[in-house]
Amino acid sequence: MFTYTLRRLAFSVPLLIAISLVIFLLIDLAPNDPTASLPLTIPDEVRDQIRTGLGLDAPTHVRYLLWCKQFFVNEPLNLLDGLIGRDGDRMRLLSWSTHAPVADLIVQRLPQTLWVVGLSLVIGLLIALPVGILSARRPYGWVDQLGTFAAMIGFSVPSFFLGVLLILLFSVHLGWLPSIYDTTLRVTDWHSFTLQLRQMVMPVTVLALFNAAQFSRYLRASMLDTMHRDFIRTARAKGMSEPRVLLGHALRHAMGPVITVLALTIPQVFAGAIVTEQVFRVNGLGQLLISAIHGGDVPLVQTLTFLFAVLIVAFNMLADIAHGLLDPRLRYD
């Protein structure tokens, strides 16, 4: 497993470099002018000076190499300087719209997205585990039928439609929950804690419903396949209790595909959170990406898009490793 992990890491480096080049070229070749949002009264020579100051007069390969140096070299070194308490004077990757370092903007917005995405994954798993196990224990029973119905709703209803529906029901008509996420709220006492929970209910519910629907269906299918294996019949023949057979033997074997799906779903949840953050005005990474696209902030768009690609590559590798650890029959080395 260790040798396999090293091989995957070595293969991921040129893969990520190729992905960064493709992302840079796609965004750079797109019809985008960072001076388009400036007032029309600004003379053309001033616009040309602004474009020159942003480095747009340089060739494409020079701008790509500069972005690579700033992202892969300068930013990690500046982070290291901050950890050891030393001031770094390296040129950082700056946002065109705010003139702030891109890494600082991402760090500021990341906690909001992690709260929403992380809780939705946890709640989705907590719902999917009992539903998937009970559905496989009694196929086509009332629990299985109810879980199938809820899963179909979670799969078929778009997140933006479900979000608007929840806002109309719980914010407009009932007035129980806030429709806009207040990112300036700081939890200092019990009252602010309850406000934080109330504003997180709807965005977390939208993402958790999709996660629970997906995980429960995979777990049900994997459990049904496992329940007919020889080692399950052997465990029952030895007189083991049904809960021990289900949780101690069948669940561990069935969790391999589910862990793989979970690892591959996490980048999708981050992408789906972009829509959810727009609906509920969560000031996270999704909102940051949308505002950067509207403002023509190419460095910020390139960096965020590349980070999403890094998540996909990293969690694909983690899915393979986790599957190998859970299933003793697999040998990668």
- Residue-wise pLDDT for 119-129, tens only, equals 888 888 888 88
- DSSP letter for each residue of 203-271: HHHHHHHHHHHHHHHHHHHHHHHHTTSHHHHHHHHTT--HHHIIIIIIHHHHHHHHHHHHHHHHHHHHH
Q: Tokens representing 101? A: 């370092």
For position 333, what pLDDT does the model report? Answer: 57
CB 209 within 8 A of CB 154: yes
Whole-number Å distance between alpha carbons of 187 and 200: 13
Rounded percentage of the chain residues whose pLDDT exceeds 90: 0
pLDDT value at 204 more than 80: yes
SS3 at position 243: helix
For position 329, what pLDDT does the model report? Answer: 60
pLDDT value at 195 more than 70: yes
pLDDT value at 332 more than 60: no
Start-to-end Cα distance in the chain: 6
SS3 at position 101: strand
Strands (DSSP E) contained in the chain are: none
pLDDT value at 175 more than 60: yes
- Residue-wise pLDDT for 98-108, tens only, equals 778 888 888 88
For position 142, what pLDDT does the model report? Answer: 80
For position 192, what pLDDT does the model report? Answer: 78
CA proximity to 196, closest of 210, 208, 211, 184: 184
Whole-number Å distance between alpha carbons of 137 and 224: 8
SS3 at position 233: helix
SS3 at position 145: helix
pLDDT value at 261 more than 70: yes
For position 239, what pLDDT does the model report? Answer: 77
Q: What is the mean pLDDT of residues 30-43?
A: 66
- Residue-wise pLDDT for 292-328, tens only, equals 877 777 888 888 888 888 888 888 787 777 766 666 5
- Tell me the residue length of the chain: 333
Q: Which residue is it, tokens 């496989």?
A: 136
- DSSP letter for each residue of 9-59: HHHHHHHHHHHHHHHHHHHHHSS--TTTTS-TTS-HHHHHHHHHHTTTTS-
Q: Tokens representing 154? A: 């979670």
Higher pLDDT pick, 206 / 35? 206
CB 239 within 8 A of CB 309: no
Rounded percentage of the chain residues whose pLDDT exceeds 70: 84
Backbone angles phi, psi at 30, to 5 degrees: -70, 150
CA proximity to 280, closest of 207, 145, 179, 195: 179
